[in-house]
Amino acid sequence: MLAELGLEAAEDLFASIPAQLRQKEPLGIPDGQSEYEIRDFFESRASESARGYACFLGAGAYSHFRPVVVDSLATRGEFLTAYTPYQAEISQGILTSIFEFQTMVAQLTGMDVANASMYDGSTAVPEAGMMAARITRRQRLLVARSIHPEYRQVLETYYRHQRLPTSTVNWDPRTGQLDLEDLEASLSDDVAAVIVQSPNFFGIIEHIGEAAELAHRSGALLVVVVSEAASLGLLAPPVEADIVVGELQSFAHPTSYGGPYVGILATKDRYIRQMPGRLVGATLDSDGRRAFCLTLATREQHIRRAKATSNICTNQALVALMATIYMTVFGKRGLRELAEQNLAKAHYLADSIESKEAERVFSGPFFNEFVVRPTARTAREVNALALASNIVGGLDLGRFFPELKGTLLICATETTKRADMDRYTECFGRIP
């Protein structure tokens, strides 16, 4: 091929790069390895992880049962190795599945429409904030301190550098729910949106209706964050919200050390043109047959450039497809049963631990996570004991909230075995 191009050496292909800018030393990366060696490398790294441990961590990353068909379908090359479906005529498969994803997200959240996905729950939050600011022409965001603390950190990064104001609303220390009096006192006419998570970071179900009423009364929007999608199989959808964002990892992907997950953004019909991200719409082909295509692209960066509603381009399409397959497999009845099992297991575990040497920190209703304060040992001691018997215990909330130091956020899902729950419960007991 070189000869056909009239070139003598591969070097000649790079003649347009000035010699002094070309790399002098070879890359310091070792020689290429075979498939066997690479597998071995990653098996070794995996063995330096908590392989085979029972795990009571949730906190934004949930372990759920994944039917085999999710991966066997999503890894088909026609899905796995396709690009963004800009060429509609040879992308009807992915376009149709995104349309179904948008529909199911809207049905789950009680919203009218949803986009094709965001990076994850955390980055969907500032996108919702910016969207609310465009809609209300106000700037301040009022954020519940009980949303996922890393979501709040991401929001603060986006907002601090744009010089946009945020303030926080406390939780009621008894119930763990949003402190409505604090919310009412904090609302002012510069607030674009109130951002609340339900179930919140402590697993507690929020009073969305009351929060919506207060927000709307002062001209602000209500943004509801959902980080545990499995809750939507059972809980009343946040229909009072104006925007629902969150994380669909529970339905899509194993915990995978934090990613890739799949963010969602859903809203009411009237805000469609202020949405960030890709949208798939139904249309017709030139013969009048139903077809789908990417639409309303004039909101997006490749058309609108500096005036786009967001800079997002690549999203989480394949993970969204996994979620679509998952939601289809479980369907109307399955998601309900899944959620009921989570509720039952978490309540069994909470009652068991409480019957030992521990107290529940919040009295509000919870879904599959709850907060306890061990009384016979410290939280650290409980988890050290657990680790010694191959159990990764709950999350010490002191990591994020100084006032909750020594408390544990504990999660149980349908995959948590009773025997493991009983073993973990024992770790809370007095030393015999």
Partner 1 sequence: MTRVRQHQTQDELLVFERSSPGKVGYQLPALDVPAADPVEVLGKERVRESIDGFPEVSEVEVVRHFTRLSTWNYAIDLGLYPLGSCTMKYNPRLNEAVARIEGIVDAHPYQPESMAQGLLRIQRTLETYLADIAGMDAVTLQPAAGAHGELTGLLMIRSYLESQGSPRRVVLIPDSAHGTNPATAAIAGYETREIPSNREGMIDLAALRLAADDSVAALMVTNPNTVGIFERDIAAVADILHRQGALLYVDGANMNALVGIARPGDFGADVMHLNLHKTFSTPHGGGGPGAGPVAVKAHLESFLPVPRIREEAGGLRYDWDRPKSIGRVRAFYGNFGVLVRALAYILAHGGDGLRNATVDAVLNASYIRRGLEDDYDLPYNAPSMHECIFSDARQAKYGVKTGDIAKRLIDHGFHPYTVSFPLIVRGALMIEPTETESKQELDEFIEAMRAIAREVEADPRLVRSAPVTTRTNRVDETLAARKPVLTWRGTPE
In the range 117-176, which residues lie near partner 1 by CB under 8 A?
A: 117, 119-123, 130, 148, 150-151, 153-154, 156-158, 160-163
Q: Which of 8, 18, 388, 402 contacts partner 1 by CB under 8 A?
A: 18
- Does the footprint of partner 1 cover residue 402 (CB under 8 A)? no
Cβ of residue 103: shortest distance to partner 1, in angstroms? 4
Q: Of 235, 260, 256, nearest to 118 (Cα)?
A: 260
The three-class DSSP label of residue 400 is coil
Q: Quick check: 397 binds partner 1 (CB under 8 A)?
A: no
Q: Given candidates 378, 392, 401, 429, which one binds partner 1 under the rule CB under 8 A?
A: 392
Question: Rounded to whole angstroms, what are the CA distances from 18 to 15, 27, 215?
Answer: 7, 19, 60
Q: Integer distance in angstroms from the first to the last C-alpha of the chain?
A: 79
* Interactions with partner 1, residue window 19-58 (CB under 8 A): 20-23, 26-33, 35, 37-39, 41-53, 55, 57
Contact in structure between 376 and 428 (CB atoms under 8 Å): yes
Q: CB of residue 185 vs partner 1: minimum separation in angstroms? A: 25
Residue identified by tokens 């949730």 is: 58
Residues 65-94 that bind partner 1 (CB under 8 A): 65, 67, 69, 71-73, 75-94
- Minimum distance between the CB of residue 432 and partner 1, rounded to whole angstroms? 25
Number of residues that bind partner 1 (CB under 8 A): 189
Interaction between residue 365 and partner 1 (CB under 8 A) = yes
* Residue 251, phi then psi, degrees to nearest 5: -100, 0
- In the three-class reduction of DSSP (H, G, I as helix; E, B as strand; rest coil), residue 419 is classed as helix
Footprint (CB under 8 A) of partner 1, residues 289-308: 289, 291-298, 300-308
Host H or E run for residue 124: helix 121-136
What is the closest distance, in whole angstroms, from the C-beta atom of residue 52 to partner 1 in the complex?
A: 8
CA 323 – CA 14 distance, rounded (Å): 44
Q: How many CB atoms are closer than 10 A to CB 20?
A: 6
Instruction: Choose one: 3-11, 173-181, 355-363, 423-431; the region binding partner 1 (CB under 8 A).
Output: 3-11
Would you count residue 363 as binding partner 1 (CB under 8 A)? no
Question: Exposed e or buried b for every residue in 411-420, given b needs 16+ CB within 10 A?
Answer: bbbbbbeeeb
Asked if residue 230 binds partner 1 (CB under 8 A), the reply is no
Work out how close the CB of 135 gets to partner 1 at its nearest, in angstroms, rounded to a whole number: 17
- How near is the Cβ of 255 to partner 1 at its closest, in Å? 5
Comparing CB distances to partner 1, the nearer of 18 and 402 is 18
CA distance 245 to 316: 15
- The contacts of residue 68 (CB under 8 Å, 6+ apart) are none
Instruction: Give the tokens for residue 269.
Output: 């019909």
* Rg over CA atoms, the chain: 25
For partner 1, the closer of residues 77 and 432 by Cβ is 77
Q: Which is nearer to partner 1, 54 or 220 (CB)?
A: 54
